[in-house]
Chains A and B, each alone.
Chain A
Amino acid sequence: MAAGVKSRVKLPQVAAAGEVITIKTLITHRMESGQRRHEAGAVIPRSIIHRFVCAFEGETVVDIEVHPGVSTNPFFEFRARVIESGVFRFTWYDDDGAVYTDSKAITVT
C-alpha cells in the first residue's frame, strides 16, 4: 500500500496565543478490513492504517488506535490549543510497516 499514499492536513497558518484550533487530517488508503473475500472465497488480507499520531513540538495532541471499522481514506478531526509558534507533526502507521508523515507550521501572533 506504500505506493501512491497522499496525506492532507488542514489547520490555520496563523493563530492568536491560547487560541483553540481545529485540525483536519486525511490520508488516501483503502483500509482493507480483512473481512472481505475474493470471489473464489479466499479472505483478502487485512491492510489498514492501524495508528495515527498528531504531536506539537514533541507533545502529543492525540494518539489514535485505528481498527478496520474506520472508512477508506481515514479522516480525523480534533482540537488543539496553540500557545506558541511551532510545528504540528502527523504520523500514520501502516500494517505493512510503512510510516507516512506530514507536518504543518503555525505562527502565533
Chain B
Amino acid sequence: MAITRRRMLVSGSATLLALGFPGHLWADDITAAQAIAAFANGAEITPGGVILTMEPVAEDGFRVPIRVAAEGAEALLIVAPENPVKPIALARFGPRAVEQQLATRIRLARTQEVLALARMPDGTVRQVAQAVDVVVGGCGA
C-alpha cells in the first residue's frame, strides 16, 4: 500500500486517538446536551436523587460556591448551559471515596439553571437543576 499524503494524515490522526490524546483539548465547544449524553451513556435520566447546594443569588459570577452530593455515585457532573464552555467538572470516584460529593467554586457567565448529574454504579443517571441569579457575570467563564 503506497503511503500517500492523505493516508499519512489519516493514520497520523488515528495514532493520536489511539494514544489517548487528551480529549479535553477539543471538548470546550460541546453543547450541554452532548456533555450530558456522554455522561449518561445511553441511560434514561431521572430527576432528583442528587443534592445540589448553591445560593440562589450569586453576587460574583467569578467565584460561585457549589456542592454536589449523591451517596454511592460513581461519578458526578456539573453543567452550566449558559456558559461559553458548558461542562464545568466531572468527578469520578474511586474505592476510597465515601459520601460521594464534591464542593468547588465555579464561574457563571450569566443567570441560569445549573445542572448536577450523578451516575450510579448500576448505570442509572440522576439529575437536578438549580436556578442561580448572577449579579456580576463571570464573563469569559
9-residue interface stretch from B6-14, B22-30, B124-132: B22-30
Interface size class of A (residues with CB under 8 A): 20 to 34
- A39 proximal to B (CB < 8 A): no
Q: A64 CA to B104 CA in the complex, in Å?
A: 11
When the two chains form their complex, are residues B105 and A81 in contact, meaning their CB atoms are under 8 A apart? no
Closest to A93 in B: B22
When the two chains form their complex, are residues A50 and B97 in contact, meaning their CB atoms are under 8 A apart? no
When the two chains form their complex, are residues A78 and B87 in contact, meaning their CB atoms are under 8 A apart? no
When the two chains form their complex, are residues B105 and A75 in contact, meaning their CB atoms are under 8 A apart? yes
Q: Output the least CB separation between B72 and chain A (Å).
A: 12
B102-141 contacts to A, CB under 8 A, are: 102-108, 138-141
When the two chains form their complex, are residues B90 and A65 in contact, meaning their CB atoms are under 8 A apart? yes
When the two chains form their complex, are residues A81 and B89 in contact, meaning their CB atoms are under 8 A apart? no
When the two chains form their complex, are residues B140 and A20 in contact, meaning their CB atoms are under 8 A apart? no
Q: How many A-B residue pairs have CB under 8 A?
A: 125
Q: A72 CA to B88 CA in the complex, in Å?
A: 13
What's the dominant secondary structure at chain A's contact region?
A: strand
Beyond A70-B107, A71-B107, A77-B103, whether A20 also contacts B90 by CB under 8 A is no
Q: Can you list, as one digit per residue, whether each of A21-56 has a CB less than 8 Å from chain B (1) or not (0)? A: 000000000000111110000000010001100011
Contacts of A33 in B (CB 8 A): 84-85, 107, 140-141
Beyond A35-B140, A50-B22, A70-B88, whether A79 also contacts B94 by CB under 8 A is no
When the two chains form their complex, are residues A64 and B102 in contact, meaning their CB atoms are under 8 A apart? yes
Contacts of B138 in A (CB 8 A): 71
- B5 proximal to A (CB < 8 A): no
Contacts of A102 in B (CB 8 A): none
Closest to A79 in B: B99
Q: Can you list, as one digit per residue, whether each of B74-97 has a CB less than 8 Å from chain A (1) or not (0)? A: 000010100111011111111111
Contacts of A56 in B (CB 8 A): 96
Contact partner of A67 (CB less than 8 A), chosen from B64, B88, B96, B98, is B88
Q: A75 CA to B30 CA in the complex, in Å?
A: 24
Q: Which residues of B contact A (CB under 8 A)?
A: 22, 24, 27-28, 62-64, 67, 78, 80, 83-85, 87-108, 138-141
Q: Which residues of A contact B (CB under 8 A)?
A: 20, 33-37, 46, 50-51, 55-56, 59-72, 74-81
